[in-house]
Chains A and B, each alone.
Chain A
């Protein structure tokens, strides 16, 4: 029998038809929508005079553009309010499940999907958001799509997609203390560049990946898009099943047993061939931070910014433009640099384990005077747990400001913006120019590193803080 990969197994079982010399008609099990990339899709359905084919396969939540304060009140920003209201109208009109602002399961779409058990192994999942790759942590094929494709899924439950090439990235061994899954993915991207996996779907494997919790796996799959990959996925195992068991939308009783039996078949066969294989050692990975304006521009916190040696032409020009934006010089150290803001949140690192690790780290300490510290839970559920576990109290005593769930300062569509020229060390996923506000300078790092920076006020190696 032909040896196939996990990606092949899920992909091939969802192809309705292969168009000759064209893409596959690809069936979508679950479609997440939010307020920013869906309104034009619904508008076009109306123009065509067609409806939503299977509303039960779509789930909605407003997250990108919502305020993170006073969520029980009317949204002040007119355009944001209109987008959220349009989402409500569309969901009501077509009978789509909506986890609205203020409801028990409101939150960032990639946080609530797993949290509710909607995301399951073997599924195909899309959303008009590139971080849909997050759901791949469950052994699902999950990827971001544009608004035209949102419209396709609403109208037909399918999209037209060309099957990606396959890459396996293995990380073997044991992570050192103070090194997290965020560091793994920032390390990988720094090695292969922000375009290094373009055209590929990545399977993450190896003992270091296998040892991670579901939440830590989600952080890795989440940032697959930051190296250009269509998506990333991890074979489901006991960690996956334990996470899902008992979740609201997870199968129950005999259905559960049947589901687990199927999920256990979802793995790459020994001897299956990938188009590209990369192997890394966990022991080579240290706390990472980005210094430039794409996620591939990352170094160990203890390293110096690369010089321009060996660069030429537009490559060098682009590199220098990036450093100029950041206010950094080639060859200098980042450690010790003053920081203005820290942001803990986003679909990358806004889950309860992230908030726990920050709270444990800062417990009994005060943030530095020069730091404004924002912590934004990924969902209402995360917020609730953070309160119940006493984490909010610890964080507030340390000088952090807790906000309500949403995408917030990760993309700064709402008022949570880093001011121009200021430095933010952020647990989010993108350090693009202006990503966190016009002129904002973003450095991506793990929640632990962000916690250390909050306390010292400077770029800091978390392993050097509170050792005693």
Chain B
């Protein structure tokens, strides 16, 4: 489905420096029972966010009113494990539009790009800078500029460039998805299949 266009996002951010956050943490398997893509945000980080009785755990960052925003700054190797796209649906549904990390798991990154959440890979040093800036001042704003492929810490002006292939960049800035592209080359695919 065509999704939101992404060009420039300016927002405060939520820091989650934990490393190796797998998609079972982002959304546990028992919440994958839906047959529609709705309401996953309520269970984002479910078992880190709520105790067994369903009460919010005070020490988890999403329950800390100090932090909010459309950008999630995450630790190294974010989104490993299960290919469940539900993890990105939950992140999107909660309100995030961009995830920043020094290292993403492959399938998670693809899933992000496929539904219009921008995964931004930064250096470990820049990630540390972001964590420090957000934690010392939660009102710190970050600007993610997709056309220029730059992520900037607005308080200091420090920035870093990030990679994204031109095709995906074009998709995200225009709100296109891969199926639109593939459907348009249906005859080429048919010819290929026939030659096999």
Contact = CB atoms under 8 A, between A and B. Distances in A.
A17 interface: yes
B168 A130 contact: no
A148 B114 contact: yes
A40 B182 contact: no
Given A16-B192, A144-B83, A198 B77 contact: yes
Contacts of A44: 1
Contact of A148 (B30, B165, B177): B177
Given A228-B80, A230-B106, A294 B20 contact: yes
Interface stretch (B4-12, B34-42, B142-150): B34-42
Given A36-B33, A130-B107, 18 more contacts: A16-B185, A25-B188, A37-B85, A40-B37, A144-B83, A146-B111, A147-B86, A149-B178, A152-B178, A156-B186, A195-B105, A198-B104, A226-B81, A315-B19, A318-B75, A411-B29, A411-B82, A413-B29
Contact of B189 (A19, A20, A147, A156): A156
Interface residues of B, number: 57
B37 to A, nearest CB: 5
A173 B146 CA distance: 50
A151 B179 contact: yes
A86 B29 contact: no
Contacts of A321: 18
Interface size class of A (residues with CB under 8 A): 35 or more
Interface string B121-150: 000000010000000000000000000000
B99 interface: no
Q: Which 6 A-B pairs have the closest CB atoms?
A: A22-B167, A146-B85, A79-B33, A148-B114, A146-B111, A21-B166
Interface string A364-385: 0000000000000000000000
B98 interface: no
Interface of A: 16-17, 19-23, 25, 27, 36-37, 39-40, 43-44, 47-48, 50, 54, 64-65, 77, 79-80, 82-83, 86, 128-130, 144-149, 151-152, 155-160, 162, 164, 194-195, 198-199, 225-226, 228, 230, 293-294, 296, 313-315, 317-318, 321, 411-413, 420, 430, 432-435, 438-439
A231 to B, nearest CB: 10
Contacts, number: 193
B17 interface: yes
A77 B33 CA distance: 10
B22 interface: yes
Interface of B: 1, 17-20, 22, 24-25, 28-30, 32-37, 47, 52, 75-77, 80-86, 88, 103-107, 110-111, 114-115, 128, 165-168, 177-179, 181-183, 185-186, 188-189, 192-193, 196
Contacts of A22: 165-168
Contacts of B179: 48, 148, 151-152, 155-156
B18 A317 contact: yes
Contact of B19 (A149, A159, A314): A314
A149 B114 contact: yes
Given A148-B85, A157-B189, A195-B105, A36 B17 contact: no
